[in-house]
Structure formats: C-alpha cells, structure tokens
Structure 1
Amino acid sequence: MATCPPYPTNPPRPHWWQRGWVRYGALTTLLAISGLVILALVREQTGTQGFLVGLGLAVLPVPLLMAAFRWLDRVEPGPWRNLVFCFAWGACAAALIAIIANSFATRWIATATADPAGADTLGATVIAPVVEESAKAAAVLLVFLFRRRDFTGIVDGVVTAGVTATGFAFTENILYLGNAFGTDQLTGDSGFASVTAATFFVRVVMSPFAHPLFTVLTGIGFGIAALSTGRHHLRRALLPLAGLLLAMGMHALWNGSAAFGEYGFLAVYGAFMVPCFGLLTWLVIWTRQRELRTVREELAVYVMAGWLAPAEPHTLASMHARRLARQYARRHAGKQAARAVAQYEAYATSLAFLRQRGRKGRAGPDFAVRERELLDALWHRRDVARPALDHAARATAPPPVAPWPGYGTPGSHAGYGYGYGYAAAAYAGYGYAARPGGFAPVAPYGGYGHGHGHPAPAAPAFTPAWVPAPSSAHARSRPAYPSAHPAPHPPLPRRP
C-alpha cells in the first residue's frame, strides 16, 4: 500500500543565545564597555588636557586612511556595519587588550630580570608586536567566520585589516600624543622644539600607515585563504597564520629600529618600510584592476541569456563609467535612483565574483540560491539603472572610426558599435541600420552608433532554461523575466 510522504516539519526554533539580536546586543555591549574602559585608562595616563590635545591630533589621519580603504573597496563595496565593527574593535577592544597585556608583561619581565630598561626594550620589540597583532587579527577572523559572504578575496582582507588597524592606531596616537603634551607641560617646551611636535611628525606625518601596513599582511593571508578551495583545509589554516607571523615580524622590526643606533629608525624607514608600503600598494591596486577585469569577463554569459544589456559588462568594469551612471541618475531622477544604480552595480559585481568562484570549483552549496537572489535584484532595478548605464556607456565609449564609405547615403561612413546583432538604438549592434543617413528601428538592445543599409537581423531564439518564480506579494507588479538563463550552476571540475 502506497503511503504519502510526510508533511515537512517546521525547523526547530533557535535557542535564545542563537538569535541575531542577542549576538548583536552582546557584541555592541562588549565594544561599548571596552571603549569606556580604554577612555578612562587613557585619560588617567594623559590627563584631561593631554587627552583632548591627543584626540584632536590623532583624528587627523583617520579620514584619509578610511577614504583610502573605502576606495579600494569600491569595486564590490562591503556593508558599512563591517567597517564600523572593525574600526570599533581596533579602537576599543584591541587597544584595551594591548594596554593591559603589554603593561602586565613588561612589569613581570622587569621584576623577573631586575632590569627595567631591558624590560621596556623587550616589551616593545617582542611582547607588543605579538599582543597587538593578535588582538587586531581577531577582528579579521570574526569577519572571516561570521560574514563569509562579504569576505571573498584579497581586497576584502586588506580593507578589513586596514580599517581595524586604523582604529587601533587612532587610540594609540591619543595615548602617545597626550603623554607628549604632558611632558611639554612639565618642561615648558613649545612650538617645533616640543616633544608633542616631534611625536606628531613621526607618528602622524611620517608613518600614519605603519599599523595598517602590519595588519594588512594578516588580511592578505585571510584573503588568499578565502580564495582557496574547500579541499585545502590545511592551506586555509596556515595562510592566515603565515600572514600574522609576517605582521608580527614587521612590527617588531619597526619597534626595534630605535635600538639600532642613531640612524637606525631612518634606515629601517627608508630601506624597509617605504618599499614594503609601495609593494603592498601596488599589489592591492593590481588586485582591484583584476577584479574589474573579472566583472567584464564573467558577466558576458548573462548578456547572452538576456539578463544584461550588451554594453553593461564593459560599463560595470570601469569605475569612471559607474560614477557617471550614478551622477546621471541623481541628476535626472534623484537620490533614490542614484542609490538604485549603486545597488545594481554592487549586485552585478557580486554576481560576477560568484560566477567566477563556481567556474573555479569554489562554489558553495548555496550557489544556485545566491545566483537567483542576485539576478532577481538586478532585474527589478533595471528600469532605473539601464538608462543611467546607457548614458555612461555612450560617454565612455571610444568614437567609431570607419576605414571606408558604407552603403547608403553617398559620402557617409559605416559606423561600428557594440552589441550582439541588434539594430542601432540604445546600443549598437553588429548588423546594419535600417535607414540611409538615420537611426535604425528600436530593438530589445540596440547599438550606440549610426549605420546604413539593411535592418538588423532578428534576435536569436533562446530555449528557456530557468525563470525565477516571483513571490506572490509582488507577482503582479514585477516585469517579465528573460526567457533564458545560464546554467543554474557552472560546470565544476571533477575531483581526481
């Protein structure tokens, strides 16, 4: 006797400590308590006036560093809450851990060796790098584990680590500059000859990138681990550890440069720190350009399926064109339209990276679901985003150059555009336009340029592969989806 399958049961309700608001509340409370404690400790060591002076001077490099890391993250911008968490962790939790652990370790070494001067040197060159880099790496680890969807490569690791280190350096600069101001108050020094001016020049002018440079090495290790396949578990564990060890070593070299003689600091700064900073800057910019190339290459399959317009992969692969599209939307349709265009660009970039991970065998079990979510988000923003992207494509496209006269009006030239065989309208096709000396009839996706001669050939008929089912709440208001879609999952390499 045949039996019907049982009805699906509801998933068990999570325990109270597993709820999202409980986790967010606990994390916010932890960071707030850490901030209050670190505020009290710094104020106790520097005094009220020293704290205010240190705060005013230490905040100066923060906007520049944050803008630099945000610029690196513009290709696939992560959520602001991740950056806020990283900065707060570095400024509050990591700084508190460093102050307590460094003070305790230095006092213990001084008591054990009866050499306070040697204890200070050992604490600065050995204890401080290990404690501080480990405390900052904890934020990168938390984002890597619990915000895995937002952590997909080297750039994400660099941004996460750099913002965390920026917050840590902000608190540390308050402490150093406040203590320097207190010293000047006792000695009566002022102006450029003061300890405050010297400390400001060394920490804020010469080396605002020092702490971010150290911790970025840890972030690169996590970023490479994020690019590794799931089968290489040992590699995924060792790469972040290797980056952390490099960060500790560079930090120890920087702190110990004062013990290398009169010109030891300048020698380490010029021969080691500046070249490393230039090399890492080149690396992250090269990685950013490679991400833009990935966007252009991976989105082509969605153009063939009808989800994207022919010129959109090239437009989305140019940061200049993206900015033009947002400006056009803001100027003609307001801030909401500009926000929709920015979301369209972000979703398209995430879709390209998702497709690349699937093609390289790094797709997770939620690949098809995530792809549907991104395509659905793109499709329902296309009416707002497409005119802006059209404008950006036309503004950034090189002018067509015709080597010889074309067919049609005497003396005219044939113009070649972009597209996949549709007539010239919003986009240019490879075909010919319909009227001599004029524009071709409007097709689903036309071309940019003018053409002469025959009408464009009809669009090829696709076999429907997948059509997402819109939810019932918006089923009537949503536009029809394309009749074709790439394979729900790209072919993955077989395991040997």
Structure 2
Amino acid sequence: MSETVAERRARIRSGIPKEPDPSVPPPKRLLTNHLFWIGVALLFTYAILLVLLYQQVVPDREVPGGRLIGLGTEALPKAAWYAALTAIPLSLIFFFADRFRPQRLWIWLLVFGWGACVATFVSANVNSWAASQLSIIGDGDPATGARAAIFVAPFVEESTKATVLFGIAILMRYRMVSRISGIVLAGLSGVGFAFVENILYYGRVYRYVAQTFGPITPLEAMQSLAFQRGLLTCFGHPLFTSMAGIGLAIAIRHKSKVVRIVAPVAGFCAAAFLHMAFNTTATLVSGPTLMFMYFGVALPLVLAMIIFVVRQMFREGRLIRERLTDYHRLGWLLDVEPQSASRLRTRLRALWHALFLGPYEFIDTVRAQRTLTELAYLRDAITRGIIDDAGLRREKILLARMQELRGRAVLHPTGRARYPKLSFRRKAEIENYPAPSYPGPAGIGGYFPAPNSAAPGSVPLGQTATQYSEVDPNWKPPSQ
C-alpha cells in the first residue's frame, strides 16, 4: 500500500512513523534511518564528553587560588562501584514502570547516557563559570559555595537533564503516549546524572580523607557518603526531572495550544523549585530541622510520586481496554483481546506461555501486544483531536497486522504453560539373579532368587520331587 505525497506530509505532520518496507533488506533500512545516525552521533558525543570529564576530574589540577585535588585512579573504580549500586536498581524500577508501551532499549540507553555524559559535563562547567562570576571561593573550586548550589545548580542541571526529553518529543512524539512515558524517560536521565555525580562526590571524599589524618579510613568515609546520597537521598534527581517529564507528556497529549506551552514550562519550574529546596535544606539546615524536612517533606513527596505512578498504570490499563472495546464492537477484535491487552499480569502470563512454544510464537506475541497497545493509544489520539485523518491509514495497517498475528500469538493464556517434559526418575537397578530352573518361588513366575545351594538341574521334577522329613522310630503317643 503505497502512500501519496499528501499522505506522507500528513503522516509527518502527525508524527506517525513510516511502515518499514519488507522488500528492502534490513541493513539498508537501518542505514537509511535518520534516527540510527542520530544515535550514532550521540554515542560519539558521549564518548568525547566522558574523556573530557575524565581529564578534568581525575588528575590533580592547578586552579586560581590553590590546587584542586582530583579523584585519582585508585578511588575511581571504588566510587563507580558504589554509585552503580544505586543506579542499577533505580533503572530497573523505571524499566518495569514503562510496561504498557515500553520504549525501545536504545532509547532508554541514550536517555541514560545523556544524563550521565552530556548533562554532567555541561552542568559542571556552567556551574563553575556561574559560581566564579558570583565571586565564590572554596578550596580553589568556585563551585563549592552555597550560592552556586542554591541559585545556579538547580536551573542549570534541570535544563540539561530535560533537554533530551524535548528532543524525543520533537523527533518521536508519537512514542510518548502517557505521563508514565514522560516520568520514565525523565527518571532515567536523572538516574544517569546522579550516577556520574555520585562518582565525583565519592571519589572526592575518598581522596580528601586519604590525604588527611582522621579517625576513619577513606573507604569508611566513602561508604558513609554512599549511605547518605546513594540510599537516603537516591530519589533526588529522578524525582526533580520527573516534574519536567510530566509537564511535557501533558503538553503532547493535549489539543490546546495554551496547555502545550504552559505545561512544559510549569513542569520545568516545578523541577527547578524542588531541586532548589533540596539543595537549600541540605546546605543550610542541620539537626532536628533537617530530620523533620526529610521525614516530613521529602519522603511524603516520594510516596506521593509512587502512588501517582501506580494510579497512572491502572488508568492506562482502563484507557487501553476502553479504546480497544471500540474495535471489538465493530467486529475487528475478539471479545477477550481488549481485556487481555489491558492487564499487565495477563500480558506477562501470555509471554510466559509463548516462551515455551518456540521463538517465533514468542516474537509474534510481543508484536501482537505492541500492536494492540499502539492501536489503543492511536484511537485515543484520534478521539482527542491530536492526530488528524493521517491516523486512519495507520489504523488500517495495525488492524491488518493483528489479523495476521492472531493465529500464532498467545493473547489469552489459559491453563498451564507447555513446560518441557524432563524425566528425573532413575531406572530401578535390576540385580543379576541366576536363571530359574524349576517351578516354585524361584522358578517360572517366581519372585525370589533361587537359593545358592540349588544349582540348575539338581532338583528333581515330578513324583520323585516329593520328599518327607525324617521321623524318629521310637516316637509314640504319651502314656497315660
């Protein structure tokens, strides 16, 4: 089904991706995809910025007013290990939250890399320059002053972390279908930023304690800071940047032009304000007041965000069920498909069943679930007026694809999965009994071995086989 020039312009205007041509070889399709080359350019950029950041923070450097102690090659692997203990679990949590229509793996990696490489490098240099303009001095590093952490860092860091979200919204706004999508992408950018920032903090405290005399060792100092930053306040950067992700997701899924302008700005301001409040509390507040701010303000905010995400997951499930029910009423989908596609547990169970049927069935099940989810969000966008008539062509393509996959994919699993039959029983060991030679317990149909004294052929058969026991001839009945 070839598209005309008008249809192509309408598709691009609505952000709908082009359906790949199966006649074109996959390598050619990959090399002609502009998103592939954007990803390659970003990877090269990440590598260059990591090298530049390494040269800035690892070796010792002479700065105006003193000598800036670097991380050193000894502290770097230890700091990276403790920072990874926080980054890996948080990333897995965000991966799990993005379940209904998960982003592609390379998008997750690029967003994480943006926060870890681009955002940290730009923020470190801009913060240092802005702090030097405020004439802040602290051990030769102008970025260690309180005013830089309160008035400069929140706006710089939140803007650099959220930039990748706006890039995705421009290039792939069709993929951002819910507030959960904005939260996940923003959270991964924040996790990447916190990962590299924790490496810098852990390495600095390790190197500082190693060059001074004190009651604790450098490793103990690093572990203490890792407990504070990596456990107690690990929610900081992901929580802040999630505000910008929510604002951007609301703008994309809304028809009003006013909301599309105000929502991202409001989300960024909320992220910067939370970041500013956090830095102010951590810098200027101590003692019982700090504990009250932590348990009375910070943790309730985190709990509220968790509740919001869980409610959004249930809300997205209801949205998928309602939109797919429209197609069921028209006869395009079966009655069980809207219910199965809207429940995470049923979707995971279907994947588990398909896993034991074979690789092709598993791939078809994944494609069917993605097709149904995209169909539901496309229907929602059409009803909202976000996508014009260009979505009708995409709708027909998805319905035709679903017709092809329905016979092979597992959509509504019932019963148990087809587990492979594995025999763990050992065969009973058979003793080497001698061959039976006469009827009886060890003969034909017998159950016990013949006695060792009975050799084959030594026992008579027939009438002569009757033997009597010896009787005492002097035996008689007892006398009366």
Task: Sort the TM-score into its range (normalised by shorter chain).
Answer: 0.7 to 0.9
How far apart are the structure 2 equivalents of 1:301 and 1:22? 39
How far apart are the structure 2 equivalents of 1:296 and 1:337? 24
How far apart are the structure 1 equivalents of 2:137 and 2:230? 35
Moved more, 265-274 or 98-107: 265-274
Q: Which of 188, 195, 217 does residue 221 from structure 2 map onto?
A: 195
1:213 corresponding residue in structure 2: 239
1:235 corresponding residue in structure 2: 259
1:71-470 paired onto structure 2 within 5 Å: 71-110=96-135, 120-187=145-212, 189-190=215-216, 194-229=220-255, 232-257=256-281, 258-331=283-356, 333-385=357-409, 388-392=410-414
Q: Give structure 1 stretches of 5+ with no counterpart.
A: 1-6, 396-496
Deviation at 1:100, TM superposition (A): 0.5
Q: Is the 8 A contact 1:191 1:197 kept in 2?
A: no
How far apart are the structure 1 equivalents of 2:209 and 2:41? 41
Q: Is the 8 A contact 1:72 1:159 kept in 2?
A: yes
Deviation at 1:93, TM superposition (A): 0.3
How far apart are the structure 2 equivalents of 1:19 and 1:240? 26
Query: Compared with structure 1, are the counterparts of its residues 325 and 270 closer, same or farther at alpha carbon in structure 2 (3 Å cutoff)?
Result: same
What letter corresponds to residue 201 of structure 1 in structure 2?
A: F
How far apart are the structure 2 equivalents of 1:19 and 1:204? 38
How far apart are the structure 2 equivalents of 1:173 and 1:116? 18
After superposition, give the CA deviation of every residue in 1:177-207 in whole Å (9 maximum; x if it has no partner): 1111112212355469932122111111111
Q: Is the 8 A contact 1:162 1:216 kept in 2?
A: yes
How far apart are the structure 2 equivalents of 1:370 and 1:184? 61
Deviation at 1:270, TM superposition (A): 1.3
CA RMSD of aligned residues (A): 2.9
How far apart are the structure 2 equivalents of 1:151 and 1:173? 29
What letter corresponds to residue 226 of structure 2 in structure 1?
A: F
How far apart are the structure 1 equivalents of 2:272 and 2:389? 36
What letter corresponds to residue 174 of structure 1 in structure 2?
A: I
After superposition, give the CA deviation of every residue in 1:364-413 in whole Å (9 maximum; x if it has no partner): 4421122122223222221211xx22324x68xxxxxxxxxxxxxxxxxx
Q: Is the 8 A contact 1:325 1:341 kept in 2?
A: yes
Deviation at 1:167, TM superposition (A): 0.4
Q: Give structure 2 stretches of 5+ with no counterpart.
A: 10-30, 60-69, 417-480
Q: Is the 8 A contact 1:184 1:194 kept in 2?
A: no
2:80 corresponding residue in structure 1: 55
1:12-51 paired onto structure 2 within 5 Å: 22-44=37-59, 45-51=70-76
Query: Compared with structure 1, are the counterparts of its residues 390 and 119 closer, same or farther at alpha carbon in structure 2 (3 Å cutoff)?
Result: closer
Deviation at 1:35, TM superposition (A): 2.2
Q: Is the 8 A contact 1:110 1:119 kept in 2?
A: no
Query: Compared with structure 1, are the counterparts of its residues 147 and 139 closer, same or farther at alpha carbon in structure 2 (3 Å cutoff)?
Result: same
Deviation at 1:26, TM superposition (A): 2.9
How far apart are the structure 1 equivalents of 2:221 and 2:84? 18
Query: Compared with structure 1, are the counterparts of its residues 181 and 336 closer, same or farther at alpha carbon in structure 2 (3 Å cutoff)?
Result: farther
After superposition, give the CA deviation of every residue in 1:341-363 in whole Å (9 maximum; x if it has no partner): 12211210111111122122222
After superposition, give the CA deviation of every residue in 1:262-300 in whole Å (9 maximum; x if it has no partner): 334322211211111111111111111111011111111
How far apart are the structure 1 equivalents of 2:313 and 2:5? 45
Moved more, 161-170 or 313-322: 313-322
- Name the SS of the counterpart of 1:228 in structure 2: coil
After superposition, give the CA deviation of every residue in 1:63-116 in whole Å (9 maximum; x if it has no partner): 211111111110111111211111010000000011111111222212699x99
How far apart are the structure 2 equivalents of 1:195 and 1:183? 10
How far apart are the structure 1 equivalents of 2:35 and 2:236? 35
Q: Is the 8 A contact 1:125 1:255 kept in 2?
A: yes
After superposition, give the CA deviation of every residue in 1:117-150 in whole Å (9 maximum; x if it has no partner): 9970100111111110010010111111111111
Deviation at 1:8, TM superposition (A): 8.4
Q: Is the 8 A contact 1:354 1:371 kept in 2?
A: yes
What letter corresponds to residue 222 of structure 1 in structure 2?
A: L
Query: Compared with structure 1, are the counterparts of its residues 264 and 102 closer, same or farther at alpha carbon in structure 2 (3 Å cutoff)?
Result: farther
Q: Percent of aligned positions with the same letter in both sequences?
A: 26
Q: Is the 8 A contact 1:214 1:248 kept in 2?
A: yes
Q: Is the 8 A contact 2:131 2:148 kept in 1?
A: yes
> Which structure would you say has the larger RCO, counting Cα contacts within 8 Å and 6 or more residues apart?
2
- Name the SS of the counterpart of 1:384 in structure 2: coil
Deviation at 1:22, TM superposition (A): 4.7
- Name the SS of the counterpart of 2:366 in structure 1: helix
Deviation at 1:308, TM superposition (A): 2.1
What letter corresponds to residue 379 of structure 2 in structure 1?
A: R
How far apart are the structure 1 equivalents of 2:390 and 2:46? 32
Q: TM-score, normalised by structure 1?
A: 0.71
What letter corresponds to residue 244 of structure 2 in structure 1?
A: T
What letter corresponds to residue 413 of structure 2 in structure 1?
A: H
Larger Rg: 2
How far apart are the structure 1 equivalents of 2:100 and 2:258? 30
2:65 corresponding residue in structure 1: none
